[in-house]
A = this chain, B = another copy of it.
Amino acid sequence: MKYKHIFLLTSMLLLCGISLAQQNASADFKPAVTNQPGKQFPQVNGEGRVRASINAPQAMKVLLDIGGKKYDMIKDEKGVWTGESLPQDEGFHYYQLNIDGVPVPDPGSLYFYGAGRWGSGIEIPAADRDFYALKNVPHGLISENIYFSTLTNAWRRCFVYTPAEYNTDTKKRYPVLYLQHGSFEDETGWPTQGKANLILDNLVAEKKAVPMIIVMDNGYANKPTDKADTGNKTRPLSVFEDVMIREIIPMIDAKFRTKANRQNRAIAGLSMGANQTMRIIMNNQDKFSSIGAFSGTANYPAGDVLDPATFLDGKYKDAAAINKQFKLIWLGLGTKEPNPFPASVGAFRAMLDKQGIKYIYYESPGTAHEWLTWRRSLFQYAALLFK
- Residues of A participating in the B interface, judged by any CB pair closer than 8 Å: 36-38, 54-61, 97, 99-105, 107, 110-111, 116-119, 134, 136, 139, 141-148, 155, 160, 167-168, 170, 186, 191, 254-257
Contacts and interface: CB of A to CB of B under 8 A. Distances in A.
B167 A170 contact: no
19 contacts: A36-B118, A38-B116, A56-B100, A58-B60, A58-B101, A58-B102, A59-B99, A60-B100, A97-B104, A100-B100, A104-B105, A105-B107, A110-B118, A134-B146, A141-B143, A141-B145, A141-B160, A142-B143, A143-B144
Given A111-B118, A255-B167, A104 B100 contact: no
Q: Which of A134, A144, A167, A168 has the most CB of B within 10 A?
A: A144
Given A119-B107, A143-B143, A170-B170, A102 B136 contact: no
Nearest to A56: B102
A102 B102 CA distance: 11
Contacts of A100: 56, 58-60, 99-100
Contacts of A119: 107
Highest count of chain B CB atoms <10 Å: which of A55, A61, A101: A101
Nearest to A105: B105
> Could you say which of A103, A107, A119 has the most chain B C-beta atoms within 10 Å of its C-beta?
A107
A55 B37 CA distance: 30
Given A139-B147, A167-B255, A255-B167, A104 B99 contact: yes
B139 A142 contact: no
Given A107-B117, A111-B118, A119-B107, A56 B101 contact: yes
Contacts of A186: 37
Given A111-B111, A134-B155, A145-B141, A102 B168 contact: no
Contact of A54 (B37, B102, B105, B145): B102
A174 to B, nearest CB: 13
A242 to B, nearest CB: 20
